[in-house]
Structure 1
Amino acid sequence: MSDEELLEAVRARLGAAGAASEAAIARALEEAARERGRVLGSAAAGAMVRSVRDAMLGAGPLQALLDDRAVTDVLVNGPREVWVERGGRLSRTDVDLGTPADVRALAVRLAAAGGARLDDAEPAVDARLPDGTRLHAVLPPIADGGTLISLRAVRAAAFTLEALVECGTLAPPLASVVRTLVLRRANVLVCGATGAGKTTLLAAMLAVVPSDERIVLIEEAGELRSGHPHLVRMVARRANVDGAGRVELGDLVRHAMRMRPDRIVLGECRGAEVGDVMTALNTGHDGGCATLHANAAADVPARLEALGALAGLSRAAVHAQAASAFDAVLHMRRARGLRYLAEVGVVRRTTGGLEVATALSADAGGATVRGTAWPELARRWGLAVERTVGVA
């Protein structure tokens, strides 16, 4: 009996029993091998258990890629078009997923593992797998040419500000500024493009928060990892198949205000919840943070206006709320495989409305320059920057 036939027997046994824990897999493997007169060594049995586990609990043939600590994203464009991102660079792998039908079946199974539906009636899904991996999948004909799968790995270990300095994400002068903003309880908005490192920076910032403060973290998917000892998390919930049970991010922000928070943190601000976040940060809840997708720090006002419109806020209302709610903007950039903090900005009202003025900027090499808003930022938060910092 071949290994593949034995694996199929194990899968069939587990399917009939309705169990798929690792212990159940090991028992099913032992029973199936004994029934067929096979004796498995510990190494062979361990490899088969892992194979069945990956197929039933993990991402199947993609699990080995996700287990690689250097991999941040796994992208499937077709059965033999599997790409990974390592160190900020994409490369093609030799993984073969079989047929287009196999890729579709994998996407459907992963969606189900994340508690979501993926079929012809719901051809696109955004979900979180049990291990925290972010899943996005799209079926044909929405995905022209075949099923598309995108997986973003979530690593258990959280970076510190010191570690981000060592890997080039933070220039040393900017690390000092970020630390001071956190300790002095500034309300900070972290912005940047997808994959620019917003969540990584935010996690490192939360690790700086004093241990006697309570952080209430709100996320759409529980992906932020921080070493803070008193961090509680609430995660939004999509509607079930009957269209009931949905819990929005804005609902959770309002709940957070009643949970005796020292700091309220929104993992990603992407819709009408921006109104609730600004309200929370304008009612005595200082030291809060949120992330926002934006091309540059200067584009933050326009993004806030667009999101505020979803909450029914006028442009003037957004400007008034944002100027009071947010003290500083940290803009993350991704270039040539490196994610780094490129700008520290100050949020302020002007005669023209709302603006984010540059206080400090840095390039990918770590060279840091003061901007026009530096005196304002330094005076308010008691900041000092090394003499090596230039002046724009």
Structure 2
Amino acid sequence: MKPFGRRAEFASPSASAESVPADAVDALPERPATRAAPLSRLRTQVLDRVDPVVAAELPASVLRSQLEALVHELAGRDRLELSAREQARLAEELTHDMVGYGPLEPLLQDDSISDIMVNGPDRVFIEVRGKMRLSDVRFRDAAQVANIAQKMAAAVGRRVDESSPLLDCRLADGSRVNVVFPPLALDGPCLSIRKFSKKKIDFAAMVANGSMIPSVARVLEIAARCRLNIVVSGGTGSGKTTMMNALSRLIDHEERIVTIEDAAELQLQQPHVVRLETRPPNLEGKGEINQRDLMKNALRMRPDRIIVGEVRGAEAFDMLQAMNTGHDGSICTIHANTARDAVTRIENMVQMGSMSLPQRAIRTQIASAVDLIVQVERMRDGVRRVAQIADVCGLEGDVITMNDVFTYEFEGEDANGGLLGRYVSSRTRPGFSEKLRYFGLERAWMDAVQELPA
């Protein structure tokens, strides 16, 4: 076959490879020092025999088998004492470098891992079942971390470097990625990956996981079916997006839904969904489309429901306007520690975009727009639970009144460190009882609430 520069296609394994000094390429991670130089040299020789354009077009399984054959040939020619397992490992690492995301590829393929955090070449943390730990994954150096981050950015048409050191993007499977480059990151490029769950989580699965009890699940099902305006509140990694996905599964398939996100990660099952995603500014600092711009445009798209991945700024005002102008059943998430804090944060964000609005007018809008606040929390045993469900009742004077439909009360822990607790209910009539009656679900709501102790 015709060579490509110094490289040749896989079909010409007999092509000669130029020898490269051992120190030209960093050693593979966790290799004994006595074997680092030969492995480094072998790695370079393999790369010299591979055409990157051809490799990128091959399926990963085919590429790996051809790389294994090439590694075996070169190791035999140079009489390197490498076991079959070491040769297979080198071929796998090279495959991940060429058509994947390097050392991160095994972590991305592991469904038990929910978060991946790269603090440096030798500090890769993972979250498994709600618990954080240091993984044994290593990068060759900070340059490899940077290359992988730039590869992720390029896949969605974005860029990250020292002149544009912050990036939010998503992978092909929907996983959410945040990147921070030097000089903002003092110890080298940092990556935070929130993995996209391949499992379709519904309320039944959340009950089985211990995230809630059947009565709480029933109340949330009724809330979604009755087109209540719901705010899902919680801290980072508390399960807000999972809760939003579970709520969205109960939306009627005949409704037109518009979603607005910074990095698209919602998993809506309905056929009539329009997905909108923000756009960062270009190199000249122009062309940015933020969530508020998308929110304003969504109102012109004749949506039945609007779902905002995360409200974090002035778009809160437009979200309230949508909830108050016939778009019942809208859902959004917000970062807050309690349901009361969520109301305060919404108020503060509205003021960011509409400084002239008096406080009472903002609170009136919130009280009339928001029906239910669902507070989720990742607790110290690693389980993400519904900690509180609050009904926004109305306005008394200048104070927004709220009623706790359900509250999780901690009681202790079991022998394995799992938390023990119970849900209590106020059993009061909700402020949106007219909506429940309209959909014929008022009795079902009261039955679910009264199953628990007051």
Range into which the TM-score falls when normalised by the shorter chain: 0.7 to 0.9
Tell which deviates more after alignment, 343-352 or 361-370: 361-370
| Inter-partner Cα distance in structure 2 for 1:289 and 1:55 | 40
**Given the alignment of the two structures, is residue 333 of structure 1 paired with residue 369 of structure 2, yes or no?**
no
Q: Which residue of 2 aligns with 1:290?
A: 332
AA aligned to 1:332 is V
Deviates more, 1:328-337 or 1:135-144: 135-144
Which segment drifts farther, 67-76 or 254-263?
254-263
Q: Give unmatched runs, 5+ long, in structure 1.
A: none
Q: 2:56 aligns with which of 10, 20, 28?
A: 20
The equivalences for 1:72-151 within 5 A come to: 72-151=114-193
Query: How far 1:378 sits from its partner (Å)?
Result: 7.7
Give the match for residue 71 of structure 1: 113
**Distance of 2:391 and 2:347 partners within structure 1:** 17
Partner Cα distance (1:320, 1:213) in 2: 28
Pair 1:371-2:415 in alignment: no
SS at match of 2:179: strand
Matched positions, count: 385
Question: Does 281-290 or 20-29 show the bigger shift?
Answer: 20-29
Provide the secondary structure at the position in 2 that maps to 1:64. Answer: helix
- Contact 1:158–1:200 at 8 Å: present in 2 too? no
Q: Distance between the aligned counterparts of 1:31 and 1:335, measured in 2? A: 45
Tell me the percent identity: 33
Q: Which has the larger radius of gyration?
A: 2
1:198 to 2:253 alignment:
no
Q: What secondary structure is seen at the aligned counterpart in 2 of 1:298? A: helix
**Aligned partner of 1:248: which letter?**
N
Does residue 345 of the first structure (1) align with residue 381 of the second (2)? no
Q: In the aligned structure 1, how far is the partner of 2:271 from the partner of 2:196?
A: 19
Residue identity opposite 2:377 in structure 1? R
Please say if residues 193 and 294 of structure 1, whose CA atoms lie closer than 8 Å, have aligned partners that are also in contact.
Answer: yes
Maintained 8 Å contact 1:136/1:151: yes
Amino acid at match of 1:369: V
Whole-angstrom CA distance in 2 between matches of 1:245 and 1:52: 38
- 1:323-351 CA-to-partner distances (Å, cap 9, x unmatched) read 11111111111102010111111222222
| Partner residue in 2 for 1:321 | 365
Q: Per the alignment, in what secondary structure is the counterpart of residue 204 of structure 1?
A: helix
How far the C-alpha of 1:243 sits from its partner, in A, is: 2.4
SS in 1 for 2:117: strand
C-alpha distance in 1 between matches for 2:46 and 2:243: 43
Higher mean C-alpha deviation, range 360-369 or range 199-208: 360-369
Judged with a 3 Å threshold, the aligned counterparts in structure 2 of structure 1 residues 144 and 285 are, in CA distance, closer, same or farther, namely same
Matches within 5 A, 1:150-299: 150-299=192-341
- Distance in 1 separating the partners of 2:168 and 2:431: 39
Determine if contact 1:187/1:326 at 8 Å carries over to the other structure: yes
Question: Which secondary structure does the structure 1 equivalent of 2:429 belong to?
Answer: helix
Structure 1 position 277, deviation (Å): 0.9
Cα distance change on mapping 1:284 and 1:312 into 2, 3 Å = same
CA positional deviation for 1:235: 1.2
Task: Find out whether 1:361 has 2:407 as its counterpart.
Answer: yes
Shift of 1:21: 3.8
Sort the Cα spacing of 1:106 and 1:181 in 2 relative to 1 into closer, same or farther, 3 A.
same
Deviation for aligned residue 1:231: 2.6
Change (3 A) 1:50 1:96: closer
Judging changes above 3 Å, is the alpha-carbon distance between structure 1 residues 126 and 378 closer, same or farther for their aligned structure 2 residues?
closer
RMSD (Å) for aligned C-alpha atoms: 3.2
Q: In the superposition, relative to structure 1, how do residues 46 and 278 fare at CA in structure 2: closer, same or farther (>3 Å)?
A: farther
The Cα shift of 1:145 comes to 2.7
Cα distance in 1 for partners of 2:326, 2:247 equals: 20
Give the secondary-structure state (helix, strand or coil) at the position aligned to 2:346. Answer: helix
1:4 correspondence with 2:43: yes
Question: Deviation of residue 109 (structure 1)?
Answer: 3.3
Q: What is the TM-score of this pair, normalised by structure 2? A: 0.76
- 1:46 and 1:211 mapped to 2: Cα distance? 48
- Once the 2 structures are TM-superposed, how far is the Cα of residue 195 of structure 1 from its aligned partner? 0.7
Distance 1:86 1:284, change over 3 A: same
Kindly indicate whether the alpha-carbon contact (under 8 Å) linking 1:329 and 1:356 is maintained by their aligned counterparts in 2: no
Of the structure 1 ranges 122-131 and 215-224, higher mean CA displacement relative to structure 2 is found in: 122-131
